Amino acid sequence: MKGLNKKKESETVEFKKSLREWKEIVETVSAFSNTKGGTIFVGVEDSGNVVGIAVGKKSLEDIAQKIKQNTDPKIYPSISVENVKGKKVIIIEVPKSKSKPVFAFDKVFRRVGRSNHRVSSEEIRMMALEGRRVYWDAEICEGTTLEDIDKKKIKWYLMKREEIRKITKPKDLTYEELLLNIGVARKIDGNIQPTNAGILLFGKNPQRFALQSVVRGVKFKGIKITDTVIDRIDCSGVLWEMVEQIEEFIRKNIRLLSFRTPESFAREDKFEYPIQALREAVINALIHRDYREPADVRVFIFDNSIKVVNPGGFPKDVTPEKPIHKPVNPTLCNLMYDVGFIEKYGSGIYMMKELCKKWENEEPRYELHPLETNIYFSSPVAEPTLVDIEDVTAKLNERQKQGLESAHRRGFITRRDYMGICKVSHTIAHKDLKKMVNMGFLTVRGKGRGVIYIVRVRGDD
């Protein structure tokens, strides 16, 4: 074999001096099988010096038998003999296994650099899941039948897919064939049953079968999770319904800021966070999470930030800095892509960064844990730059302070809101709100019945 003297031990190359090291050879077969595959050269020292090996009639058969007997699933590598500078070298070629993990002596090994490393029980579990080639979203949803699929939602999906992706509705498929075709059902022993993806995207009651498939939103009065809760929501339904519900909750619980541009005397109003970036973070949490974990997706809204909690870590080799497209739930990704909720190829993280930059907010910050990923969005109102209600005690009565505090929670207030909160008539509400406008605490937007009163930001005049 040409060039053997130039080879060095690596992630895919291993040298063994003799067949007496057969146990280490079997462990290396396990390591190569569980990693990228590789080649074992027997008759070569660790330094790469070829010393050769005596090859008897049964030498190849014996090492093949030892590999087969001590691996599970059994590995049958390609074994041959080559002459290198007049010396015989046994070459054992091990392909990457499609049925991971491959055990050797009841242990599992993975190749790391030039060494074989023993794999932990948690890594074995993850390798087994990868080796099965069946993702959670493609598994049968236990206890379900096709009656649990909402045909109206299937019809909506086909309509949106045609509208957004220009994929025409299939005319030659039966209803069951369509479900099989788009990956939301599987045929097992002649029976067609919904998959987990089918229930999460088209189920009549998804939470009946997947309790963890909810989004919980909480609004705190303060900057810590121990502060007072002033609003909350438990979103349920299929994935896209929960996205709409949590978006509405977020809009209700963040500030609407009012600014005056240098080019014009006109005011511009915008939310303190880019809604589309928050929406993308929630969608990512829903489709890229580990549904085998019982935890749910959470959105915590604080006075100075928003935290989105995804019960799942980033896939191997994927980071916020390298957001390559490696979906945890490919069927969910494909179907959400079909209806325009996501774009493929890892563009979501880049999009969130760009939206925050355009909004003049800080980039999202990631906090990575093995079983959880947290995304933080910082408010541009880092300190209480809005009117501090306690500072105006001498200028407003208790009723007006109560109304202004309510306006701070949402960023605005309507006359009807004020009447309900303060238990006053239309006339008094109008008078109080006008006073707060004149004092510079609120600004008016709209006309007639559409008027809303927006909390003003210090320094925006």
pLDDT at position 110 is 93
pLDDT at position 348 is 83
d(CA 214, CA 236): 5
Q: What is the 3-state secondary structure (H, E, C) of the chain?
A: CCCHHHCCCCCCEEEECCHHHHHHHHHHHHHHHHCCCEEEEECECCCCCECCCCCCCCHHHHHHHHHHHCEECCCCCEEEEEEECCEEEEEEEECCCCCCCCEECCEEEEEECCEEEECCHHHHHHHHHHHHCCCHHHCECCCCCHHHECHHHHHHHHHHHHHHHCCCCCCCCCHHHHHHHCCCEEEECCEEEEEHHHHHHHECCHHHHCCCCCEEEEEEECCCCCCEEEEEEEECCCHHHHHHHHHHHHHHHCCEEEEECCCCCCEEEEECCCHHHHHHHHHHHHHHCCCCCCCCEEEEECCCEEEEEECCCCCCCCCCCCCCCCCCCHHHHHHHHHCCCCCCCCHHHHHHHHHHHHCCCCCCEEEEECCEEEEEEECCCCCCCECCHHHHCCCCCHHHHHHHHHHHHHCEECHHHHHHHHCCCHHHHHHHHHHHHHCCCEEEECCHHHCEEEECECCCC
The mean per-residue pLDDT over the stretch 270-291 comes to 93
pLDDT > 70: what percent of the chain? 88
89-106 confidence digits (pLDDT tens): 999 999 998 778 899 998
290-346 confidence digits (pLDDT tens): 898 888 999 999 999 999 999 877 766 677 777 776 778 989 999 999 999 987 656
7-46 confidence digits (pLDDT tens): 889 999 999 999 999 999 999 999 999 999 999 999 999 9
pLDDT at position 122 is 76
Of the listed ranges 160-174, 190-204, 225-239, 272-286, the least confidently predicted one is 160-174
All domains of the chain in start order, with CATH: 4-132 (3.30.950.30), 138-209 (no CATH), 215-378 (3.30.565.60), 389-455 (1.10.10.10)
The mean per-residue pLDDT over the stretch 401-411 comes to 77
d(CA 377, CA 402): 28
